[in-house]
Amino acid sequence: MKNLLITGGTLWNGKQFVRGNALLLSGGLIKAAGREEDVRAAAPSSCPVLCLSGESVLPGITDAHIHLTTWAKQKTLLDLSPAECLPDMLSMVKAEAAKIAPGRWIRGWNYNEIRWPGGRSVTREDLDSLGIPNPVLLQRVCTHVNAANSRALELSGLESEDGVLLEREAIPALRAMERDVFSRSAVREALRKGLIELASHGITCVHPCGADDYGMEEDLALYSDLNRDHSLPLRVFTYHDTLPYPSLPSGFGDGRVHYQGLKIYLDGSLGGHTAALSSPYSDDVYEEGRLNWTDEEVYEKLWSARKRGLQTMLHAIGDRALDQGLRCIERVDEEFGRDGLRDRINHVMVCRPDQRRKLAFLGLFCDIQPAFVASDMNMAEKRLGARRLSWAYSWRSLLQEGLTVSASSDAPVESVNPWHAVRHLMDRSGVDGKEVFRPEERLSLEEALPLLTSNPWISIGLGNSFGRLAPGYAADLVVLDRDISGASGKDLFPVSPSYVFSGGVLSRGSLEDWPRFEQ
């Protein structure tokens, strides 16, 4: 549709909801926004009109950190999240073996032993006890821990006493499994279906993060294929953990599919005891986690990226990993200065007050996962202890330092539904909705929405063209099925987009079905 006038909505202007304003979409952009009489005056006489009755209209939502291809593929595999104990999970694996040929790999994902009685994780001995002929490779919910049976280890050329593979140790097993389970066409189809699901939640942009070292690659060519076939309902900006060859600048792309930068995984996960802490874990005095790289290696990666004009995103969950990232960024800044697009720090989970100040001083962007509060709250104190817990998951404190913060799912770790993230930013409640984790860090709805709308665009240097309902901005927007102004966190779970526009093109909903659509 070349032009569209939207009236009668409750529009989010970046700071508050405003009733009675209107939008004019034209040629993929927002041509006019403001009082209805003014916007109608700017519209062509034959312009079709979508007449709302107070429903909220937002800029399109961005998932600023998602392992998209991995999430899409895993939706076709054995989901272990329903397992309530280790025997439950083993039964699920055995049932899966009965459905497939003896030599085929069983790939399970999303188990979480922290929720099980006793909290013991799975080992090779457990998997071997099933007596099945299939190679088995199971991935923990954090994606940083994999467990393999003896057959999987044999086929991968690996040796492991307990079959537990941490971080990059799992690569040979992941490669062997991928060759058996996924063809390129199967991955493409999984991506196509996954993108439709994302659009259904009001997501108009994603920042997929590739992790070759963890078996979670992102292939730009697959997204380009889908775009050429008109099967890409949103915009894509990818990060990869290897430098591109030939060299590409951040933002290189065609308006829909873009290469954005280099991802550096400094440490692992809190749940897997591989997040690098500055002192031992409270529940394991012999463990401080691990840094994936030396300072010199991190510096060289940052230096190479800065030399090419590339943005970097640094995965840092533990405070020791964050210290390393800040040291190395400051060292590179001394050589190159701070011109250009600043680096991004992903997760920022265990972050001391002095580190928050340093993040702000260096002008870095932060990306957080609000749903981790509910998932981790019963585990975090055990891992961190009360003192460190007072630094952890401090989303409001980051904003109070003046930092630009974006929010994301980190799927497949958490749900891709962005309203879950908004609720966790607002309520910080547990899975049961009752217990509240560090309530002083809660945000209002007005404080939370920029983390999913305007801030992700600022973080990639495009805040002047995307993420706002203002003239000249891209017509990426969401029309919800209700007015959410004044809503509490728990009120947001039933929210659903009626219409989603990406570049002015309708990617969800049918205007002809809307009872108040005037042609």
Predicted local confidence at residue 349, as pLDDT? 96
Q: Is residue 50 located within the same domain as residue 78?
A: no
**Domain match, 78 and 137 both:** yes
Q: What is the predicted pLDDT for the residue at 64?
A: 98
512: Cβ contacts below 8 Å, ≥ 6 apart: none
Whether 42 maps to a domain, the answer reads yes
Residue 129 lies in a domain: yes
Rg, C-alpha atoms of the chain = 23
| Statement: residue 431 has pLDDT above 80 | no
Predicted TM-score (pTM) of the model is 0.88
Domain end residue (candidates: 181, 207, 224)? 181
Cα angle vertex 220, ends 143, 328, to 5°? 60
- Interval 106-150: pLDDT, tens: 988 889 998 898 888 899 999 999 999 999 999 898 888 899 999
| CA 344 – CA 293 distance, rounded (Å) | 18
* H and E: helices and strands count for the chain: 16, 25
Residues 96 and 55 occupy one common structural domain: no
- Residue pair 14/455 in contact (Cβ under 8 Å)? The answer is no
From residue 396, give the alpha-carbon distance in Å to each of 15, 86, 200, 446. Answer: 16, 37, 29, 13
- Euclidean distance between CA atoms 316 and 378, whole angstroms: 21
Reference 119, options 410, 393, 383; nearest CA is: 383
Would you give the end-to-end CA distance of the chain in angstroms? 11
Q: At 418, is the secondary structure helix, strand, or coil?
A: helix
Cα angle, residue 231 at apex, residues 230 and 232 outer, rounded to 5°: 100
* pLDDT at 77 (0 to 100): 84
According to DSSP, the residues that pair with 33 across neighbouring strands are 23
Q: Tell me, what's the pLDDT at 28?
A: 96
Instruction: Categorize the per-residue pLDDT at 434 as very low, low, confident or very high, splitting at 50, 70 and 90.
Output: low
Q: Token pair of 269, please?
A: 């996960």
- Tell me what pLDDT residue 254 has: 93
Residue 52 lies in a domain: yes
SS (H, E, C) 249-292: CCCEECCCEEEEEEEEECCCCCCCCCCCCCCCECCECCCCCCCC
The percentage of the chain sitting over the pLDDT mark of 70, rounded to a whole number, equals 97
Which of 144, 164, 181 delimits the end of a domain?
181
Cis ω before 246 (30° cut-off from 0): yes
> Residue 478 domain-assigned?
yes
Domain contains 156: yes
Mark out the alpha helices in 350-460 (DSSP H runs).
353-362, 372-389, 395-400, 418-427, 445-448, 455-459
| DSSP-assigned beta bridge partners for residue 25 | 4, 30
Look up the CATH number of the domain holding residue 42.
2.30.40.10
Asked whether residue 50 is domain-assigned, the answer is yes
79 and 53 within one domain? no
Q: Quick: pLDDT tens for 314-372.
A: 999 999 999 999 999 999 999 999 988 999 999 999 999 999 999 999 999 999 999 99
- The answer to whether the CB of 17 falls within 8 A of the CB of 9 is no
Query: If pLDDT is split at 50, 70 and 90, which confidence band does 515 have?
Result: low
If asked whether residues 146 and 80 sit together in one domain, one would say yes
* Structural domain includes residue 440: no
Q: Which of 181, 196, 226 is the last residue of a domain?
A: 181
Please tell me the predicted confidence (pLDDT) of residue 46. Answer: 87
Domain total in the chain: 2
Which pLDDT band holds residue 171 (cuts at 50, 70, 90)? confident
Cα–Cα distance between 47 and 3 in angstroms, integer?
6
> 517 pLDDT band (50/70/90 cuts)?
low
Identify whether residues 44 and 142 lie together within a single domain.
no
3-state secondary structure of 320: helix
Tokens of 16: 């508050």
* pLDDT tens readout for residues 479-496: 999 999 999 998 998 899
- CATH number, domain at 168? 3.10.310.70
Q: Give the tens place of pLDDT for each residue, 204-261.
A: 999 999 988 777 889 999 999 999 999 999 999 999 999 988 889 999 999 999 999 9
The predicted structure's pLDDT at residue 513: 66
Query: What is d(CA 400, CA 393) in angstroms, rounded to the nearest whole number?
Result: 14
- 15 & 52 share domain: yes
pLDDT at 2: 87
Q: What is the rounded average pLDDT for all residues in the chain? A: 93
Per-residue pLDDT reduced to its tens digit, 388-398: 999 999 999 99
Structural domain that includes position 98:
69-181
Q: Is residue 293 part of a domain?
A: no
Does 177 share its domain with 117? yes
